[in-house]
Amino acid sequence: MQGDQVTDKNLCLAMLNQLKWDASCLTSKILECSDAQLRQDYINILNRTFEEQVQVYNFANQQGWHKPMMAEQNMVTQVQSGAQKMLNEQQQSMATQHQQAQYQAIQNQPNMLNNNQGVGYQTYAQPYYNPQQYPYNYGETQQQFFPR
């Protein structure tokens, strides 16, 4: 009837699985959280979960209850290079997105020189001053150089 009893081994392995599940759920919550304080709280809980998982894993491993299959060195190297490649691609993608955002911001700004819309500029259809406001014939000079 030992299959019906709760043993230290069963309890330990159940705790280990629960901590893995908790870490997975907390990671999802962190990635989806928009509140900075709540996000930090989840990160703190996740870090404690990692610490507890290491303790439970070490205990189970010492007891001989949890012996993970060890990867060969070539597999470890392959996973590390794949992770590095993924990190590089992510950084490159983020840099490209940043450049595109800067380009769009520049494109959305009014073109100061080509549109004559800069400070102190007026279009020819709208004189800088009204000739009737000034008695010194400035309007004639303006009419001569800037016909309407």
pLDDT tens digits along 88-103: 999 999 888 888 888 8
Which amino acid is present at 115? Answer: N
Q: Are 49 and 23 in contact (CB under 8 A)?
A: yes
Residue among 114, 120, 115, 122 at smallest CA distance from 146:
122
Instruction: Render pLDDT for 107-121 as a digit per residue (tens, 0 to 9).
Output: 776 554 555 555 555
The reply to whether 37 falls in a domain is: yes
Q: What is the DSSP string of 45-94?
A: HHHHHHHHHHHHHHHHHHHTS--PPPPPHHHHHHHHHHHHHHHHHHHHHH
Asked if 68 and 21 count as a contact pair (C-beta separation under 8 A), the reply is no
pTM above 0.75, yes or no: no
Secondary-structure breakdown of the chain: helix, strand, coil percentages, each rounded to the nearest 5 = 70, 0, 30
Indicate whether 90 belongs to any domain: no
Same domain (yes/no): 61, 12: yes
Residue among 18, 14, 44 nearest 29 (CA): 44
Q: Residue 127: inside a domain, yes or no?
A: yes
Q: What's the total number of domains in the chain?
A: 2
**Residue 64 domain-assigned (yes or no):** yes
- Contact indicator for 125, 148 with CB cutoff of 8 Å: yes
Residue 114 belongs to a domain:
yes
Residue 1 binned pLDDT confidence (cut-offs 50, 70, 90): very low
Domain of residue 140 covers 105-148
Same domain, 59 and 111: no
Which of 46, 68, 90 corresponds to the end of one domain?
68
Claim to verify: residue 62 and residue 15 sit in the same structural domain: yes
